[in-house]
Amino acid sequence: MSVASATEAIVMPPGPLEDMSNVADALPEAEEAAAMAREKGWVVPQRYNYEAYNALNRDDYADALPWASNSAKYEWKEEYGDIGPPNEELEQMLFKDEYIPRVGKLLENIRQIQVTAETTERPDPIKSFEDAGLHPIMLNNIKLCGYIVPTPVQAYCIPAVLTGHDLIAVAQTGSGKTAAFLIPVLSRLMGKAKKLAAPRPDLGNGFNESLDAVRAEPLVLIVVPTRELATQIFDEARRLCYRSMLRPCVIYGGGPSRDQRIELQKGCDILIATPGRLIDFMEKPNILSLCRVRYTIIDEADELLKSDWEVEFTKILAGGDVNEDADHRYMMFSATFNKGCRQVARKFLANDYVRIRIGRVGSTHLNVTQQLVWAEENMKKKCLYDLLMAMPPSRTIVFVNNKTQADLIDDFLFNMGLPSTSIHSDRTQREREDAIRAFKTAKSPILIATAVSARGLDIKNVMHVVNYDLPSANHGGIDEYIHRIGRTARIGNPGLATSFYNDKNSDIASDLVKILVESKQVIPDFLQNEVPSDGVLDFNDDTDDEARNDDNAGDDGWGAAALPPVAAGFAEASNAKPEAETQGGWGGAADGEW
């Protein structure tokens, strides 16, 4: 399918969507609905057995199913020299699994975005990974990941980190922010790990908890607001640390603390953590010390700089035995970052920090096709059913505003024969990880989610995001909308975001229209009165008063200058696809077929 025809299919889906909120005919009975779903191509729904795990105590969980924190990583042995030998089995798992997100063919749309930099000493952006001065093992791991050319946030952040600057980076969702901080930080440490890292046991000889346990003294601390984002960054760290001495660990609430403690006691150089569990371990100095930390990285920083997190954030950055030496660098990343959050962030940054903005703060990119559909509250369930049945089967995230609604919609879709699962903060961590696993493997390709999944979730072939409930202005507003729709169309892939709108959403109407106009989307008739008559989009985001525009955008490779081809040579997708994987893209199309 061509890009043009695919886009037409997205923007103008067939049948009932044009006026679906006024369609009053009854929904089909369960048996008929199930048959219709199979005919449409949706896989058979699988009922989750909550009782199977509720009967277990937490210590028994680890024996029932693997936890994300226990995922395999490259284990260094003392007999290795400077570079560890390849491990074919682990390499297959880390880099060639068919469910790993891949760079798409629309990366060029991201690379054309204007870059703004605020700094007294701006490092020159890189045009290729090979020219960045990275460690040879890092370059090899980048190739194994399928990264061919740096995205704008990577092109500017990598040299800023390599030259020793503190950093604030704001870039659109799905633009490669995680790699933008992991690549340079890990690369700088790869050649120094033996000198800088804390003593740890030789895991090549096995591990005896009572004899070999050491105190974890990480060199890098990465703090994130959600468990799902923590495990996701951990997966990327496992890939980029491959064949090096650097050992990543992840700790987060809800998982078995004993398992996480044992992983820490095997040695930890890169620690990814959620605030609550991190503070728990910080209060046990015989298990975890931050005295060696060289890099503190805050991902989704605007969320962690809110007043809700103030106590935890202060404890993490200023408490315990945190390394306060001059060689301690701080970095903060997000897609949305208002002026108040930036003012708080400056308290922790050096005076010569670099601030990089890719596009406008809080904007989205053109790879997301956005459509708004009028849907009265009492018709939303049928609207959702009609929408899912009108579109090609694909991984779809449906966002709602509360946990009760998530359960109700999950039950409704399941009873209509559609393969759904749900995730929210009342679910146990076992249930949350199982839901993500079922969604990722397309056994349950429809995920009903609250805002817990809006931050950073990166899953391959999420083709459609549905805002069943739009966020209200008092609960996240347009920033949460941006984070939600950013779950699709990531790193150069296309995607669709559909939002149900009615009079209850008038508080964000103006902001929605500005986003639609800015990203060249169709404005529905019911929002035409919100389009600025003078054509001027005033976002009131207080960004232009603090940064100077980069006048060399074209010369730096983001504008008119010729770029290396981005369509060829990306990581090969596995040809072996289970039946459920036909739900992975529109009609089961192969990766990059658009």
Statement to judge: residues 351 and 381 lie in one domain: no
Closest CA to 222 of 293, 167, 162: 293
Which residues, given as ranges, of the chain have pLDDT below 50? 1-16, 19, 21-22, 58-59, 61-63, 106-107, 110, 362, 544-582, 586-594
Q: Which residue has the tokens 């695919």?
A: 6
Pairwise CA distance, residues 462 & 586, whole Å: 10
Q: Is 364 helix (H, G, I), strand (E, B) or coil?
A: coil
Q: Which helix (H) or strand (E) holds 136?
A: helix 136-145
Question: Who's near 233: CB < 8 A, 6+ residues apart?
Answer: 178, 182, 222, 224, 250, 272, 299, 456
Nearest to 329 by CA among 164, 121, 120: 164
43, part of any domain: no
pLDDT at 108: 55
Residue 577 lies in a domain: no
Same domain assignment for residues 292 and 423: no
**Do 185 and 240 touch, CB atoms closer than 8 A?**
no
List the beta bridge partners of residue 397: 447, 465
Residue 344, classed as helix, strand or coil, is helix
What is the reported pLDDT for 120? 66
Tokens of 150: 């740096």
In terms of domains, do 403 and 519 share one? yes
Query: How far does CA 309 lie from the centroid of its chain?
Result: 20
Q: By three-state DSSP, how is residue 500 classified?
A: strand
Q: Using CA atoms, how far apart are residues 245 and 247, in angstroms rounded to an integer?
A: 6
Q: Are residues 407 and 310 in the same domain?
A: no
Domain that residue 508 falls in: 3-23+364-530
What is the helix (H) or strand (E) element at residue 393, kind and residue range? none
Give domain status of residue 28, yes or no: no
Residue with tokens 């403690």: 261
What does the alpha-carbon distance between residue 60 and residue 63 come to, in Å, rounded to a whole number?
6
- Residues 336, 409 share a domain: no
Q: What gap in Å lies between CA 73 and CA 238, rounded to an integer?
A: 6
**413 and 318 within one domain:** no
What does the pLDDT read at residue 593? 25
Give me the number of domains the chain comprises.
2
The pTM (predicted TM-score) of the whole model is 0.78
* pLDDT computed for residue 341 by the predictor: 78
pLDDT of residue 122: 72
49 within a domain of the structure (yes/no): no
| Final residue of a structural domain among 334, 358, 382 | 358
Would 587 be classed as within a structural domain? no
Question: pLDDT tens, 286-311?
Answer: 999 999 999 999 998 878 877 677 77
